[in-house]
Structure 1
């Protein structure tokens, strides 16, 4: 197996928000100079173009990569729908059958599964839209205890996977090279890129936001200026690394319209000797996020903590940070808003949920216009706190998938997983007592 390596993008052109042109080759002189697709690529390789946007997308949005590989990825037998007695199909869910609820929902930590590999660990918690129409999103929970079988690869034709790892270590072998992911790091694997997941340190668990339309960008900084939040230079892309296996039986699993298909081929899909372009997997260490906050009064909206953005979903984090505001309520306000907020906790304790019900590896969902905010205990403490500068969230990392869409919830999330907290409201907000005094 090739040695796992990483590199930061070498040319910072900041196209598409941060996606820089990048190139990598495992064998010298693999990539052409002055031509994208020569008549005869070097070393007897095949040229293959991987496009993540339409061919006529504006230059500032166009994402494509040239791959130079030992055999083209088209060299496989037909894809066939997987029909089996196991739970593979049920795990991927059915967005046409999700439950649309105005309730506030919260889940206890999801169980690890020692028996499942990456593909069989995927469980649709909720979502909205239609992958076939390239609209909407899906939210998955994963908990795998075994590496993917040898000679098995996977890709999603439905959308980009934003993977938030909560527990364990993932060694992700992609067509463009390896990515090693650890807790407090995120990985984005764009639509169509083939990969396999092995577990060098035991079970893994986490969350996935699948984006059916388009790709994530860095948010505009506006008055913040040229630096802050997530900086482009901190995103890492894989270095080309390839296998030369052209005589073994491989299986390719494809997630297509939330259905699993399979195809056989007699060569490895990980035979890309060199590549260059703008469409590639990447990872980001959340510890490198440069927090921006208020230094006077009031609590900024959570958008100030946005790592990656898209019109239908933002990825927001709540990292360790200093609170220094004066004469104000420092946790998030009680609020209702037009956005749906799915929250997860990677580690530690979220400062607005101190009652113990929101724990690492758990989750909550507050859909469009569902009222929410600090639990009774957190509100009481914050209202009486001495407002000297204090650092919150040390040893903690919470995140949010925020969307303007109504997020439907699957039967698995409501019933099968047995993790739903049925007394969420009673534990969090019903205990709040009125303190109104007319004559103060």
Structure 2
């Protein structure tokens, strides 16, 4: 397997970073001096409205070889490939429990963009609410093609194979067990490190992802800001024909450029891209009996219009101790106002004996009853409740307050499990008077 490149990073979530790939490229005082250093062009990237509160304001100043305005008109792409946006033209919003096996390995020559297929969406991309949930499979690097999502920020969760994500603001490597976020409107391309790659993509149409409030937890726990890694400045000085694909208004548009759009030589700010190693997440759990709700495993959140009802939460269930006494330890039988999409990077899920495998996925829409299958229930109710450490497993959840509509592609996929409901067949009446 090809070695993962060792890159330099800056640390700190949404902090004000500053970096230059060439000495003297970053102005020391003014953001837009009359003459930017080294003959570069100053350009601001505003990831939020100008007057949003400081704690949620996102913006970066860049100093680049050419300004982004240097292009001809975009044209709408006639092909739809596999990427769909909310609201769906087809699809179904279903109360049924759904589960998928991993998608098949793609044919040769399929890059990250061509290999994306949409599971489900909710909300309305034009109203900046809701999410799109996709999977990707790729067997080739993006070379002469770049992409940018103006509809949402992208949270990429690799399951098989590491990726090299080359962005305007620098390069990130992201491997299974990590995730990367490319902020809205940031141009990038993806190279493979190895023969093929697969994983999941969350497209967040709503409020920018941020760290959840800790409330009574206090100052420490969950994801620490210092563990988020932002790229240092890096650029392509490449003058040859390339293509830029832009997601805008739920459609793909493209334009031909005579240069690479990744030509930022220096930048400062907090609107860029970042990566996080999920082994750095500090989980919290019960110290006596019962167990906390899955919200305590939230890594990042996109706040919704009502407190406590997020547009989207990203939660992870990695290695942790389970010590509760007199408690049913797997996730309990449950019906929920929130919609839950589950993915699995490695290992197994502690409420599923079989059927939910790495690279697979499940969807439990609002109020869909779910929980342990019969085998897991029987094992859990008969288990010796000694302290136990759960290791080697990495399930995660995309949770949203909105009902998810499943695409026709996902419903008709050959790797969807049509008999998922059979997981609960044979649960017996146990009531005794």
In 2, distance between residues paired with 1:24 and 1:219? Answer: 27
Aligned residue pair count: 420
Alignment of 1:119-198 (within 5 A): 119-148=113-142, 150-198=143-191
Alignment of 1:15-414 (within 5 A): 18-84=13-79, 88-92=80-84, 95-96=87-88, 97-115=90-108, 116-148=110-142, 150-245=143-238, 247-310=239-302, 311-354=310-353, 356-392=354-390, 394-414=391-411
In 2, distance between residues paired with 1:234 and 1:114? Answer: 36
CA contact (8 A) 2:153 2:204 kept: yes
Structure 1, residues 371-425: CA drift from partner, whole Å, max 9, x if none?
0001111111000111110112x1110000011100000000101x212211111
Q: Tell me by how many angstroms 1:31 deviates.
A: 1.3
CA contact (8 A) 1:334 1:373 kept: yes
In 2, distance between residues paired with 1:338 and 1:94? Answer: 20
Q: Tell me by how many angstroms 1:93 deviates.
A: 5.8
In 2, distance between residues paired with 1:93 and 1:243? Answer: 31
In 1, distance between residues paired with 2:323 and 2:54? Answer: 43
In 2, distance between residues paired with 1:233 and 1:284? Answer: 10
Q: Which residue matches 1:15?
A: none
Q: Which moved more, 1:128-137 or 1:289-298?
A: 128-137
Q: Tell me by how many angstroms 1:5 deviates.
A: 2.3
CA contact (8 A) 1:299 1:331 kept: no
In 1, distance between residues paired with 2:271 and 2:247? Answer: 19
CA contact (8 A) 2:10 2:232 kept: no
Q: Tell me by how many angstroms 1:36 deviates.
A: 1.4
Structure 1, residues 52-105: CA drift from partner, whole Å, max 9, x if none?
101121222110000100101110111001124xxx434436633231100011
Q: Secondary structure at the match of 1:287?
A: helix
Q: Tell me by how many angstroms 1:4 deviates.
A: 6.1
Question: Aligned to 2:10, which of 8, 11, 26?
Answer: 8
How has the CA–CA distance of structure 1 residues 291 and 174 changed in structure 2, closer, same or farther, with 3 Å as cutoff?
same
In 1, distance between residues paired with 2:102 and 2:231? Answer: 31
Q: Secondary structure at the match of 2:113?
A: helix
Q: Secondary structure at the match of 1:166?
A: strand
Q: Quote the RMSD (CA, aligned, Å).
A: 1.3
Question: Aligned to 1:424, which of 420, 426, 429?
Answer: 420
In 2, distance between residues paired with 1:200 and 1:294? Answer: 39
TM-score, normalised to structure 1, is 0.93
In 2, distance between residues paired with 1:431 and 1:134? Answer: 43
Structure 1, residues 257-289: CA drift from partner, whole Å, max 9, x if none?
221111011111111100000111000001111
The gaps in structure 1 that reach 5 residues or longer are: 13-17
In 2, distance between residues paired with 1:334 and 1:365? Answer: 15
Q: Secondary structure at the match of 2:327?
A: coil
Q: Tell me by how many angstroms 1:8 deviates.
A: 2.8
In 2, distance between residues paired with 1:91 and 1:315? Answer: 21
Structure 1, residues 191-225: CA drift from partner, whole Å, max 9, x if none?
11000111121111011111112211111112222
Q: Secondary structure at the match of 1:48?
A: strand
4+ long deviations beyond 2 Å = 3-6, 88-98
Q: Secondary structure at the match of 2:137?
A: strand
